[in-house]
Homo-oligomer: A and B are copies of this chain.
Amino acid sequence: MKTFGAVEAGGTKFVCGIGSGPDDLRTISIPTTSPHETIARTIGFFQTAGVELSGVGIGSFGPVDLSRNSPTWGHITSTPKAGWRDTDLAGALARALQVPVAFETDVNAAALGESHWGAARGLGGCVYITVDTGIGGGALVEGQPIHGMVHPEMGHLRIPHDHGVDPFPGNCPFHGDCLEGLAAGPAIQARWGAPAEELPADHQAWPLQAKYLALAVANLVFVLSPERVILGGGVMHQQHLFPMIRAELRNILAEYVRAPALSDLDGYVVSPRLGDRAGVLGALALAMKR
């Protein structure tokens, strides 16, 4: 069995792994400091592991350049994260390790991981959304991550916002009351004065949160019609949100879009099954797929 390397390159840590699947993956975590130091430690982990790698997959924070024909393919591009702008992450690993390197957004990698070994196993079309300090999304269409002209920014979907019910104006610095501005962790904190994990399950925050997330999921159904929608990230640790989101989604779709999967929303809007390992396992799947 071939062995691959995987890197979930995040803004606070790089999770690096070696293996051939969920059962044998061993990982380490490297804090994200400067590109020079972090990438050197990542390379060092793979070089000193004592195994021959058949390839490495990277799921990276962004924005990133995914265009294979672009001179800056594999770079982290215009990130506000200090020091990381225009960093050739994929190139650095490819040169040092002399193996094929595959490169994706972190959320596309997570979608891929869940479709290989997790909550969307065997399904060609799924969406993975993370609701955390921001909101991001990755999507597979017929097993392939969607890139488009630039990678998708599903967190910034525009959705209905009833100012009478929710006077909070939204806090996205670009769009005000886009999805992220209304429903990411910082919006919950700003609106209610406490972070999501401190709000009781019967708090009025939750019906509103469920509504916004259901509107976003509905829009994804209308555009991509995925076979499953996986909602992950810190805010989604509040498991009581899931039945509320499903009920709202049922109301919003109003039986217009009919498909067997939509008649059982319990199986349609789900938690990630790989938990915190979705990203690094997705990077592994990416390396294996290449």
What is the CA–CA distance of A215 and B158 in the complex, to the nearest angstrom?
7
A254: which of B157, B175, B255, B259 is its contact (CB, 8 Å)? B175
When C-beta atoms are compared, the residue in chain B nearest to A216 turns out to be: B158
Interface presence of A151 (CB below 8 A): yes
Which of A197-205, A217-225, A278-286 interfaces with chain B? A217-225
- From A149, A158, A221, name the one whose CB has the most chain B CB atoms within 10 angstroms: A149
* A148-177 vs B, Cβ < 8 Å mask (1 yes, 0 no): 111111111111110000000000001101
A211 to chain B, nearest CB (A): 11
Bound-state CA distance A215–B12 (Å) is 33
Complex partner residue of A220 from B63, B221, B223, CB under 8 angstroms: B223
Q: How large is the interface on A (under 10, 10 to 19, 20 to 34, 35 or more residues)?
A: 35 or more
A contact patch SS: loop
Which residues on the B side are within 8 Å of A141 (C-beta)? Answer: 141, 146, 148
Contact B258 A219 (CB under 8 A): no
Per-residue CB contact flags for chain A residues 123-152 toward chain B (1 = under 8 Å, else 0) read 001000000000001010110101111111
Q: Are B223 and A149 in contact (CB under 8 A)?
A: no
